[in-house]
């Protein structure tokens, strides 16, 4: 199968850059290799119409949507690249960007200044707040991209990178950074998650700090940023996170 066919299937949502299996999420190597092949084969070209003045690969143009697609792409500088899937019911507020290979499922919102990186997977009814950065993982091809499962809320200015998995229903507070280099502290269960571990279902994660333990750092009162799980979602937190249907 050539990369054009795979890009078409990505846009249709019939194939994905990562799939959930009985063993957990697994990267789709064939899809990632096809995207890389499209980069290699692409030649820079200028665009016309509303994209006049922009230059990109000739084979990866921005997507166009019609009312029949059920996607609300609000005017003001947003773009969805060729090979990205955006489901019916998704709202994209300007300016936002969804890159090739990404998957955004039904009922999700991509708010202003948000990035959905290449191959990132966003579940149903996810709220990506203003300024959220969801990193893409295209290479190495066998590595999972960032995955945000259904019903998650990602607070303003949060950064999630390096293939981190955020499981169903989790709440990431504004300003949290999740990466494989930074351990996550679970205050509820009094444990430290292994580096790169998934954020558990329904966890509520806030930005925190931890002391640095060498002598010089202690003398200077230094600390390092770290995410902290402070609770798990309950009825009260669910009510405060409900999306206002009138906005749709």
Whether residue 128 is preceded by a cis peptide bond, meaning omega within 30 degrees of 0, is no
Residues 91-111 have a mean pLDDT of 98
What digits encode the pLDDT tens for the residues 115-164? 999 999 999 999 999 999 999 899 899 999 999 999 999 999 999 999 99
At 51 the pLDDT is 83
State how far the alpha carbon of 158 is from the alpha carbons of 174, 177, 199, 219, 248, in Å. 6, 6, 14, 31, 24
Handedness of CA 107, 136, 113, 158 (dihedral sign): positive
What digits encode the pLDDT tens for the residues 171-199? 999 999 999 999 999 999 999 999 999 99
Predicted TM-score (pTM) above 0.85: yes
Name residue 24's beta-bridge partners.
Answer: 21
At 235 the pLDDT is 67
At 242 the pLDDT is 62
Which domains are seen in the chain, by residue range? Answer: 3-239 (2.160.10.10)
Residues 212-231 have a mean pLDDT of 95
At 247 the pLDDT is 54
Q: Identify the CA nearest to 18 among candidates 121, 118, 98, 104.
A: 121
Residues in contact with 245: Cβ distance below 8 Å, sequence separation at least 6, in sequence order: none
**Average pLDDT score, the chain:** 94
At 246 the pLDDT is 53
């Amino acid at each position: 199968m050539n990369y054009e066919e795979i890009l078409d299937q990505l846009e249709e949502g019939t194939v994905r850059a990562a799939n959930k299996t009985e063993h957990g999420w697994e990267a789709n190597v064939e899809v990632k290799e096809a995207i890389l092949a499209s980069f290699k084969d692409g030649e820079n070209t200028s665009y016309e119409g509303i994209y006049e003045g922009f230059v990109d690969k000739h084979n990866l143009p921005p997507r166009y949507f019609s009312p029949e697609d059920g996607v609300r792409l609000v005017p003001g500088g947003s773009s969805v690249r060729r090979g990205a899937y955006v489901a019916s019911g998704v709202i994209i507020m300007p300016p936002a960007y969804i890159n090739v290979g990404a998957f955004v499922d039904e009922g999700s919102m991509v708010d202003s200044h948000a990035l959905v990186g290449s191959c990132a997977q966003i579940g149903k009814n996810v709220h990506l707040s203003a300024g959220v950065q969801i990193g893409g993982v295209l290479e190495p091809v066998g590595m999972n991209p960032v995955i945000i499962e259904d019903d998650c809320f990602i607070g303003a200015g949060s950064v999630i990178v390096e293939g981190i998995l955020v499981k169903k229903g989790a709440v990431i507070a504004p300003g949290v950074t999740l990466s494989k280099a930074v351990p996550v502290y679970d205050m509820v269960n009094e444990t430290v998650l292994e580096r790169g571990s998934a954020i558990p279902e329904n966890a509520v994660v806030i930005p925190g700090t931890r002391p640095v333990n060498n002598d010089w750092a202690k003398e200077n009162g230094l600390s390092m940023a770290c995410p902290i799980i402070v609770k798990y979602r309950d009825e009260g937190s669910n009510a405060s996170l409900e999306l206002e249907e009138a906005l749709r």
